[in-house]
Amino acid sequence: MDFKEPGDYKTEVHFIGQIVAGTQFDTSAGLFCEIHLEYGDQWRELPNRSEQGIQTQTSYPSVDELIVWAHPIDLHFSTNSIFGWPKFIIRVWRLDDVGRIDLLSYGVTALPCSPGYFKLECPTWRPIGTWQDEAMAFFIGGPPRLMNQDALTKEVGLRQTLKTVSSGSVIIEIEVMLRNFDVHWARSQIN
């Protein structure tokens, strides 16, 4: 690596880890987790922008109510700006024994920006409707969903009128590696 070109000094970020498990979901049905990435305009996903999100296997809970997904995550971004650091938008879906697939809960988590190992616990929630909606969700299925997904990250002000109930948590292990950040005078840890 003695001969370096301008492309070698591009700032890059690697996220390596896994979606470990879901806890405290209080259900005996199978759950799977779907994750979409959200990042700013100056960020580019390498090598190609992924058309579909990350989707894990469908897991059934263990004796101590841990739902293990262990889905590996290996993301590589190239960026020109710290603004718009990637976020995970998490959606947990439920598959029960009669074959219904329901969107169970939502969660948002920002990825860490300093190098190292992090164990993130992202709590999730789902919106509540009227008592009729809740009764229908219990018997027939189809718990209430968000009509406008912007309430998650883009227009957070819309959440003012939202009523939700807490659901379980998703545990994510992530290791962050930063490349060439010190060349551009960016610092994200005390050193």
Partner 1 sequence: MDQTDPNRPNRFLPKKDDFVYGDSSTYFQPQGPDVTQHPILQPEIPGQELFDIYKRPPSPKLILPDDSYFYINVSGQIEYADFQGVDSLFMKYDFVAGPEWQIIYGQKSGGSQTAYKARGSNRRLVWNFPFNLGFRSTNLKGWPQLIITCIGGDFLGREVIKGYGNGHIPTQPGRHERTLYMYRPKSSSILVNFIGALKGKLAELIDPPSTLGMADGREVTRMESGGSVKIVFQVSQTNMEKFGYSVKSIS
Select 85 or 151, whichever has its Cβ closest to partner 1: 85
The gap from C-alpha 151 to its chain's centroid, in whole angstroms, comes to: 15
Q: Give min distance, CB of 119 to partner 1, in A.
A: 10
Instruction: Find the shortest distance in angstroms from Cβ 112 to partner 1.
Output: 13
Task: Determine the longest span between alpha carbons in the chain, in angstroms.
Answer: 69
Q: Measured from the CB atom, is 91 or 127 closer to partner 1? A: 91
Instruction: Write down the least CB distance from residue 81 to partner 1, Å.
Output: 18
Dihedral angle sign, alpha carbons of residues 29, 95, 30, 141: negative
Q: How far is the CB of 92 from partner 1 (least distance, A)?
A: 14
Residues that bind partner 1 (CB under 8 A): 1-2, 8-9, 14, 16-18, 20-21, 30, 32, 46, 55-63, 66-68, 70-72, 74, 76, 95, 115-117, 175, 177-183
Quote the CA–CA distance of 89 and 164 in Å, as a whole number: 17
> DSSP code of 132?
H
* Cβ 145 to partner 1 shortest distance, Å: 20
Question: Of 15 and 39, which has the nearer Cβ to partner 1?
Answer: 15
Q: What three-state secondary structure class fits 186?
A: coil
Closest CB to partner 1 among 150 and 182? 182
Distance CA 43, CA 77 (A): 7
Residue (92 or 151) nearer to partner 1, CB: 92
119: three-class secondary structure by DSSP:
strand
The CA–CA distances, whole Å, from 6 to 91, 92, 132 equal 39, 42, 61
